[in-house]
Amino acid sequence: MSLYLALVKPTARALYAERMNSRRDQIERGWILVSIAYGGLRAALVWKFLKQYGVNPYVFGAIEFISAAIYGKSSAQVVGAVVDGAWIRLRRWLPIAVLTYFAPDGYVFLSAGRLPSDMLAILISVVCATLVLTVVGIVTQVRRGRRVA
């Protein structure tokens, strides 16, 4: 009888794990969409302010949207791996998250011609500010995930 119950009736732990995976999937999809929307904002700003300095807005947009989708997925996986203590999974996803986070900014710095010093200062400030906000957001999500788990 107990083998039957083990096969047919899911335990509370299994139900909790199933709900958490479903919730994680929803959060992951949401984060990917937020990342892509933010990428659209960045692409519009590059179009308006950096096109005149040699940054191709079409190339930037392609890099930004592809990177944003991959970054959304990889950063969600990084948070999940840290919450779960899955260090092998973290080693697989962390380099992808870092690379896709910096790829669009790297393209801007490499493709822009000579930027005026004030424009360069603004660009570096924005990159640093978004980096700090991103790290704070990831740390917050990890702490929240550990409280729930």
pLDDT at 131: 94
Identify the domain containing residue 124 by its residue range.
20-148
Residue 7 resides in a domain: no
Domain assignment of residue 4, yes or no: no
Residue 118 lies in a domain: yes
Q: Has residue 5 been placed in a domain?
A: no
Using CA atoms, how far apart are residues 23 and 44, in angstroms rounded to an integer?
32
Q: Give the pLDDT score at 11.
A: 55
Number of structural domains found in the chain: 1
What pTM was computed for the model? 0.80
Q: In this structure, are residues 101 and 64 in contact, taking their beta carbons and an 8 Å threshold?
A: no
Say if 137 falls within a structural domain: yes
Confidence (pLDDT) at 96: 97
CA-closest candidate to residue 109, choices 51, 55, 57, 45: 55
Q: What is the pLDDT along the chain (149 residues), one digit of tens a residue?
A: 455 545 555 555 554 555 667 888 898 999 999 999 999 999 999 999 999 999 999 999 999 999 999 999 999 999 999 999 999 999 999 999 999 999 999 999 999 888 889 999 999 999 999 999 999 999 998 898 888 76
